[in-house]
Amino acid sequence: MYVDDIAQWVADQGVAGGNTDWPITRLGQSAVSTGSSARGVTFYPTPGNQPEPGRTGRPSFPGMQIRVRGDVADRRAAYEECAALIALLADLGPTQMGTTNIRAIRAVQSAPIGPMPDAAGRPEYTANFLVTLGR
């Protein structure tokens, strides 16, 4: 799935995952971590920009949402990590990410949305993107 390839690409860039303080949580894993770190980054596919029913000529683009969960004591760090992900991914393309041919990634907003508390009360910021996939 394209979001898994994008998440791996982000990890390869050293912005999240890997040896950073921001582990990437894969889809299907619990977002409420009981592990050693409250921090985490999760990539979700979203419907994105869909054409209005009955209208033609406007293409649809899949979307992606990134949620960055931080420590209660340091909300600013989660905001800054989410902002770094927006800066990395906004207006990116064309490029190959794993098995996915990305023609373009566009940020829907220029700054993180939030914080909204997760189920454990930790701050969570979100960033939304439209993804143009190649063939």
What's the CA gap between 9 and 97, in Å, rounded?
6
pLDDT at 80 over 60: yes
Provide the residue type at 131 as one letter. Answer: V
Neighbouring-strand partners of residue 76: none
**Residue 38 contacts residue 32 (beta carbons within 8 Å):** no
25 or 81: which carries more pLDDT confidence? 81
Statement: residue 102 has pLDDT above 50 = yes
Q: What percent of the chain is modeled with pLDDT above 90?
A: 59
Q: What are the structural domains of the chain?
A: 2-48+61-133 (3.30.2000)
Q: What's the whole-model pTM score?
A: 0.85
Tokens of 8: 């791996």
Using an 8 Å Cβ cutoff, are 90 and 102 in contact? no
CB 120 within 8 A of CB 39: no
